[in-house]
Structure 1
Amino acid sequence: MTKSIILVGVGGQGTILSSKLLTTGLMNAGYDVKMSEIHGMSQRGGSVSSQVRYGEKVYSPVIEIGGADILVSFEKMEALRWLEYLKPEGKIVVNNYRIDSMPILNGKATYYEKEIEDELNRLNATIINAENKAKEMGNTKVMNIILLGALVKSMKLEYIDWESIIRENIKEKFIDINLQAFKKGMEMVSEALDLESN
């Protein structure tokens, strides 16, 4: 059975790197994998999404409306922008992080933060604060790897050798912090799900 994953964020957040690591891991595990990337604006601040589909045989990289098993959003407003792609029973993992787009910075649009958070809570999204965790670790650039760990845990893909994939695809001096970040992301989802079930 084919599974469909959408990762969304804003340019400069490392969404595409996470997708590439995810795709490599799934391929190494023997799945047929298709990945497509959409860059709204390639510069920092534009909307970026990546669609990854895996299974025994995948015929198309494109996820149709209402077809995603999970939506992982690196920025909270982006989660709502891509919501229509999620299956009714699909999971949402959201980074509790705000980036103002150019229209908001220019005063031409408003970021309705409370409404966004209310809607995410209504949808039972698993909300994690990857930015704070990355700051605690001393490098905000690992936020994307925290979210990759959160995705892996949410999709029960822990059996894949992610440590090797990170070691092979990340610059040597950043390997250790990225391995820590990946583990933190998995832990944060477990903690968030425990809180939701209580």
Structure 2
Amino acid sequence: MNSVKNILLVGVGGQGTILASKILSEGLVEAGYDVKMSEIHGMSQRGGNVSTQIRFGEKVYSPIIGKGEADVIVAFEKMEALRWIGYLKEGGKMVVNDFEIPSAPIQQGKAKYPEGILEELSSKADVFVFKAADIAAQVGNMRTMNIVLFGALVKAMNLPGIEWEQVIKKNVKPEFAEINVKAFQAGYKL
């Protein structure tokens, strides 16, 4: 690979965005890529936004993705997809979880959750939308929604040949390894 690829993962605190990013980074390193990762937690412990920038290729000098540079954006929550769409490059892809987590102003009744987000995103980019929560529930554990999204990302980025299931097993507690592998497989099939 002679060019650097840029992946942006965005979500809300508690959704497992950081874990998915760490699994992705570790797998890419094991595959021989130079990888740089930057994470921003914000007020993630209080339901605030979380973003992770991952850049990989033969040689990467900075972990920062500028506006209009992301090859893929994975949004764990659809309002976060709308917030970050400006970072997607022309011809880039978005993997969007059709899932809503109301922000504090919405919960307090000071604002309303925006309508028409998926339609707006689809008018601006190549968007793959699915309900990762439903898929995770079918697999057997709602908390694996992040790994469902990770599986979809691996498919969207065409990143085969990496032992993703082994990397997942190394990064989750042993008692949750098999359910997370099933979640990855379900997301990859999307």
The TM-score normalised by the length of structure 2 is 0.96
**Deviation (angstroms), 1:138:** 2.2
**Deviation (angstroms), 1:141:** 0.6
> For the Cα contact (< 8 Å) 1:2–1:53, is it kept in 2?
yes
1:60 aligns to 2:62 (yes or no): yes
**Deviation (angstroms), 1:124:** 3.4
1:120 aligns to 2:109 (yes or no): no
State the partner residue of 2:15.
13
Deviation per CA, 1:60-108: give whole Å up to 9, x if none.
0000111100000000010010011110111000001000010000111
State the partner residue of 1:81.
83
> For the Cα contact (< 8 Å) 1:69–1:87, is it kept in 2?
yes
Q: Is the partner of 1:146 in helix, strand or coil?
A: helix
Q: Aligned partner of 2:149: which letter?
A: L
1:45 aligns to 2:47 (yes or no): yes
Deviation per CA, 1:115-158: give whole Å up to 9, x if none.
21211232331001100011122211100000000000000002
- Cα separation, 1, equivalents of 2:36 and 2:122: 31
Q: Aligned partner of 1:50: which letter?
A: T
**Deviation (angstroms), 1:112:** 1.6
State the partner residue of 1:191.
none
Cα RMSD of the aligned pairs, angstroms, is: 0.9
**Deviation (angstroms), 1:30:** 0.3
State the partner residue of 2:185.
183
Please identify, of 121-130 and 8-17, the stretch whose mean Cα deviation from structure 2 is larger.
121-130
Gaps of 5+ in 2: none
Q: Aligned partner of 2:5: which letter?
A: K
Gaps of 5+ in 1: 189-198
> For the Cα contact (< 8 Å) 1:33–1:52, is it kept in 2?
yes
Alignment of 1:26-37 (within 5 A): 26-37=28-39
Q: Aligned partner of 1:2: which letter?
A: V
